[in-house]
Amino acid sequence: MAVVRKITVAVTLALGAMAAQAQVSDGVIKIGVMSDMSSLYSDIGGPGSVAAARMAVEDFGAAKKGMKVEIVSADHQNKPDVGSGIARQWYDTDKVDAIFDVPNSGVALAINQLTREKGKAFINSGAASSDLTGKACSPNTVHWTYDTWMLANGTGSAIVKTGGDSWFFLTADYAFGHALERDTEAVVQKNGGKVLGKVRVPINTQDFSSFLLQAQSSKAKIIGLANAGGDTINSIKQASEFGIVKGGQSLAGLLVFISDVHGLGLNTAQGLIFTETFYWDLNDQTRAFAKRMAAANNGKYPTMVQAGVYAGVLHYLKAVEAAKTDDGTKVVAKMKELPTDDPLFGKGRIRADGRKIHPAYLVEVKKPSESKGPYDYYKIRTQIPADQAFRPEKDGGCSLIK
Amino acid sequence: MTEIFGVPTQALFGQLLIGLINGSFYALLSLGLAVIFGLLNIINFTHGAQYMLGAFVAYLLLNKLGVGYWWALLIAPIVVGAFGVLIERLMLKQLYKLDHLYGLLLTFGLALIIQGLFRNEFGSSGQPYPIAAELTGGRNLGFMFLPIYRGWVILASLVVCIGTWFVIERTKLGSYLRAATENPELVQAFGINVPRMITLTYGFGVALAAFAGVMAAPIYQVSPQMGADLIIVVFAVVVIGGMGSILGSVITGFGLGIIEGLTKVFYPEASNTVIFIIMAIVLLIRPAGLFGTQK
Amino acid sequence: MKHQRIAFVIMLAFFCLAPLVLYPVFLMKVMCFALFACAFNLLVGFGGLLSFGHAMFLGTAGYASAHAAKVWGFTPELAILFGTFASTGLGVVTGLLAIRRQGIYFAMITLALAQMIFFYYLQVPFTHGEDGIQAVPRGRLFGAIDLANIWNMYATVAVVFFGGFLLIYRAIHSPFGQVLKAIRENEPRAISLGYDTTRYKFLAFVLSAALAGLAGATKAIVFQLASLTDAHWTMSGEVVLMTLLGGMGTVFGPVVGALIIITLENYLSQLGSWVTVVQGVIFVICVLTFRRGVIGEIANLIKKPL
């Protein structure tokens, strides 16, 4: 019986594999959207990213141009081994040409490596580690949306300049958290501030009480939250439970998304200052995009990560059309050649190290009385021009920059 | 928070208090496990999932039926306890004649099922559950700011733990339970319905887990994973305390919470492992645990 | 004996021919986990000791071998050997601590020790915590054979797997294995016959740890990644599941169990949490009604050991 079972399984798997092979030829552009579909980053990227990718393919008009574009998606569960396993299978057997999104810097770094080995394309919209265009830069990777350097520079310098000159870090204990802490620490010190202490916290921690207590006893003026998603929400909520803000310290959310503000509510989140590169209420085009996204994603308004997936897919398809191939290395080179122009991030370009350049916005969360409706959450404090928002090319340690 | 004894002392007391709060959960959960193991000889791996169920029942009661925290403290343990009775009747009963390890494997499988189903339904990021209005706010104790709710946690768990210990060790019902563990046939010969007692005992242990879950809901996010990693630590607590000893698990629960809190101050890197290190040492020196008796 | 030989030939044929139709990386994963499950089965099925912490061996070997290959530049066979050596060492230390206890206490102490190891790996810098050791080079086997070539890698994994399998088979059918089975059946009687049961159990534990390590070390090279998943307690649960489903105490059971579980995970992965639910259901069904496992049931039907 075991033998029969083994043969049945083998035949089924073989048929599946053969079927997959039959439909893929070079006429199909296969896009893989890999995200965290079920855990702490699922509202930041997740199913919304898949919806954004679909919209981009529609808007590009692939059908009219005679290009066949397919989208597949998967959940990396924030685990590098799961993510790289899926990516490997996508590249080897499923003939996926490019991978998009991937929030979680650990997974992103793994996929960055794999994509370079296989000569495919990786357009990352969700991860934050500035190493993707620094030490780990690759001719097959484009880093869209944001990175830790930009966040540190935007948020960090703004806060230090207004008097927040002693910091204590609560850091998510993986690539992203460390990178964010490192970049923000550098900015704080450059602007004359001091870092009084730091504590590393495993991701998906439920209870921050002992870490918050350490932050309190350090007497730092600013408690920097070098974490994201559910971790940020939890730490902000519990900080208010422990009277941290009442006690005179301020929280600096180093990476906050509109979905987090929505989860916290304006009562708790008001006054938070942070940096983003997209807000749905900037202009008519972003508002139109937001309406379409809300319709496709259960009424949730788009985060900058999902906007980045849309813009990235659009630019990728333009580059494929111009380069007339779906070979990863060539397409990414073309993406750097063509200037970008999309309804969400405006005009910009992709540098030689893979970094996408666009303006950033320092935002402040409105008070409940100032908000006219759901998702009307931000006041734009300043706009940071594109060429100042991101780390200078020569400073990253990227081997592609001579 | 403004009174300064010297920063280290302040941090010390604060962490000790947090440790006591964590210890309350360890005590409540290990109490349930100890009751079940002591009287049924089953390692209830589902305990973490049942703790999570308690929190979710509270969450659903609030969001679907508008039933608040205080009622949830009563209703959730009953609901989840009834579910536990069902498990015992349908599945665990068949395993009593086999090696105890099968009970462990069955409850492990049940935990996977429950956690997987809830993760499918609710995702793993956790749902918010508000602190009951009467318990919000905090008190400035001088060395730290103590949220009232966390103080309530310590109080409630002490009451429940001592109450349970009292019932089992000092009442007639408790003595029947203890006798039934020693010699079920003899006790049955006296006309006491032993199988029903066992079923109800399992239900009670599960209800304790659910009670802990409701208490946890306002401060830890209500998430399908909330019990999974906690349960391993609780196992360690029960083993250190002595697997059949009620008093042992309560004292060890609170004690280990405090030790963990102290470790966070002096050597935070080890705070995750200190309980397991203690367990390894205890098992080498006193295999039956600090308060247990070898069966 | 004859039936076991037939089963072995079928297994050999499957792993030799399947990569022509199935994704070879998938099959390599199956082989690594099959070896892991066989090693675990040696301890539980033949030694009667249920360890709930076997992930610590898989994880330790994975990290050791990944670090050796990436940071110290070991060639793959040396990296794998180093990984196996590391987990054997861990097996000796944990065995000395755990082996004196029985039943539930043994399971609990292995679980606790595995948790300690997991938290250690979470903190210590060389593992890079949540990110894991990435970009582990496949390298050149013996300095000559390039393992980036998928067929070279596959052949290497197959050799490792079959080698380990045969070693376990030999151990089970040797005098050592017989004594082990005797201890599982009735330890007091074995003691009365003059056997130092503690020493036999300890040896079985260390052997099991070594072979689990071999699986982990090889896996790290194949997937070029060593991560926390391999040391997490859910991995310990998975190997119990594979062995239980396949048939505890049978020779081929763990292989079949591994094949089924890995296939399931692969195919259900897009359904996210359903994998966990299905695993739980399999556990429950196996414990309640299917205790002999797949191979166990077949063996029972044909009345011959498998």
Contact of B110 with chain C, judged by CB distance below 8 Å, is answered with yes
Whole-prediction pTM: 0.88
CA distance A225 to chain B (A): 18
Tens-digit pLDDT string for chain B (295 aa): 343 334 467 677 788 888 898 899 999 999 999 888 877 778 899 999 999 999 999 999 998 898 888 999 999 999 999 999 999 999 988 888 888 788 889 999 999 999 989 988 887 767 778 888 888 877 777 767 788 888 899 999 999 999 998 888 888 888 888 787 777 788 888 888 888 888 988 999 999 999 999 999 888 878 888 888 788 889 888 888 887 788 888 999 999 999 988 887 777 767 778 888 898 888 778 877 888 765 4
Residues A31 and A18: their CA atoms lie apart, in Å, by 20
Q: How confident is the model at residue A9 (pLDDT cuts 50, 70, 90)?
A: very low
DSSP C231: G
Determine whether the interchain pair A174/C263 forms a contact, defined as Cβ–Cβ distance below 8 Å.
no
Determine whether the interchain pair C281/B113 forms a contact, defined as Cβ–Cβ distance below 8 Å.
yes
Domain boundaries, chain A: 28-146+282-358, 149-276
Determine whether the interchain pair B109/C284 forms a contact, defined as Cβ–Cβ distance below 8 Å.
yes
Closest CA to B293 of B103, B96, B104, B38: B38
Name the average pLDDT for chain B: 85
CB C4 within 8 A of CB C295: no
The most confident of A64-73, A383-392, B187-196, C63-72, by mean pLDDT: C63-72
Over residues A382-395, the mean pLDDT reads 88
In tens, the pLDDT along B131-171 reads 888 888 777 777 677 888 888 999 999 999 999 988 888 88
Query: Does residue C259 form part of some domain?
Result: no
What is the end-to-end Cα distance of chain B in Å, rounded?
50
Which residues of chain C lie closer than 8 angstroms to B273, CB-CB? 115-116, 119-120
> What is the DSSP annotation of chain B?
----S-HHHHHHHHHHHHHHHHHHHHHHHHHHHHHHHHHH----TTHHHHHHHHHHHHHHHHHHH---HHHHHHHHHHHHHHHHHHHHHHTGGGGTTS-HHHHHHHHHHHHHHHHHHHHHHH-SS-B--PPPGGG-SEEE-SSSEEEHHHHHHHHHHHHHHHHHHHHHHHSHHHHHHHHHHH-HHHHHHTT--HHHHHHHHHHHHHHHHHHHHHHHTTTS-B-TTTTHHHHHHHHHHHHHH-TT-HHHHHHHHHHHHHHHHHHHHH-GGGTTTHHHHHHHHHHHH-TT-SS----
Whether pLDDT at A22 is above 70? no
Q: Which two tokens stand for residue A97?
A: 């040409």
Q: Find the CB nearest B284 among C97, C279, C280.
A: C97
Closest CA to C183 of C199, C171, C160: C199
Shortest CA distance from C10: residue in chain A: A3
Determine whether the interchain pair A175/C10 forms a contact, defined as Cβ–Cβ distance below 8 Å.
no
How many structural domains are present in chain C?
Answer: 1
**3-state DSSP assignment of residue A225:** strand
> Which residue's structure tokens are 């590393």?
A200
Contact of A265 with chain B, judged by CB distance below 8 Å, is answered with no
pLDDT at position A20 is 37
| Most distant pair of Cα atoms in chain C: their distance | 55
Selected from 3.30.479.10, 3.40.50.2300, 2.120.10.30, 3.40.50.880, the CATH number assigned to the domain covering A28-146+282-358 reads 3.40.50.2300
Determine whether the interchain pair B128/A263 forms a contact, defined as Cβ–Cβ distance below 8 Å.
yes
> In the CATH scheme, what architecture does the domain B7-285 have?
Orthogonal Bundle (1.10)
Cα-Cα-Cα-Cα dihedral of B48, B50, B55, B59, to 10°? 140
Q: Give the type of residue at C64.
A: A
Closest CA to C244 of C99, C40, C104, C98: C40
Whether pLDDT at A1 is above 70? no
Contact of B279 with chain C, judged by CB distance below 8 Å, is answered with yes
CATH of domain A149-276: 3.40.50.2300
pLDDT at position A289 is 93
ipTM: 0.88
Shortest CA distance from C276: residue in chain B: B116
Lowest mean pLDDT across A39-43, A373-377, B59-63:
A39-43
Residues C295 and C306: their CA atoms lie apart, in Å, by 7
Residues C139 and C145: their CA atoms lie apart, in Å, by 8
Contact of A110 with chain C, judged by CB distance below 8 Å, is answered with yes
Which residues of chain A lie closer than 8 angstroms to C295, CB-CB? 2
CB B246 within 8 A of CB B24: no
Residues B259 and A260: their CA atoms lie apart, in Å, by 34
Q: What is the CA B254 to chain-centroid distance, rounded?
A: 11
| Domain enclosing residue C37, as ranges | 26-233
CB < 8 Å from A in window 7-26 of C = 10, 14, 18, 21-23, 25-26
φ, ψ of residue A306 to 5 degrees: the values are: -65, -35
Query: Does residue C13 form part of some domain?
Result: no
Q: Which helix (H) or strand (E) holds A359?
A: none
Shortest CA distance from B268: residue in chain C: C123
Lowest mean pLDDT across A13-17, A384-388, B86-90:
A13-17
Contact of B284 with chain C, judged by CB distance below 8 Å, is answered with yes
Which residues of chain B lie closer than 8 angstroms to C104, CB-CB? 43, 100-101, 104, 243
Which residues of chain B lie closer than 8 angstroms to C279, CB-CB? 109, 112, 116
Lowest mean pLDDT across C11-20, C235-244, C270-279:
C270-279
Residues A113 and B80: their CA atoms lie apart, in Å, by 47
In tens, the pLDDT along C210-228 reads 999 999 999 999 999 999 9
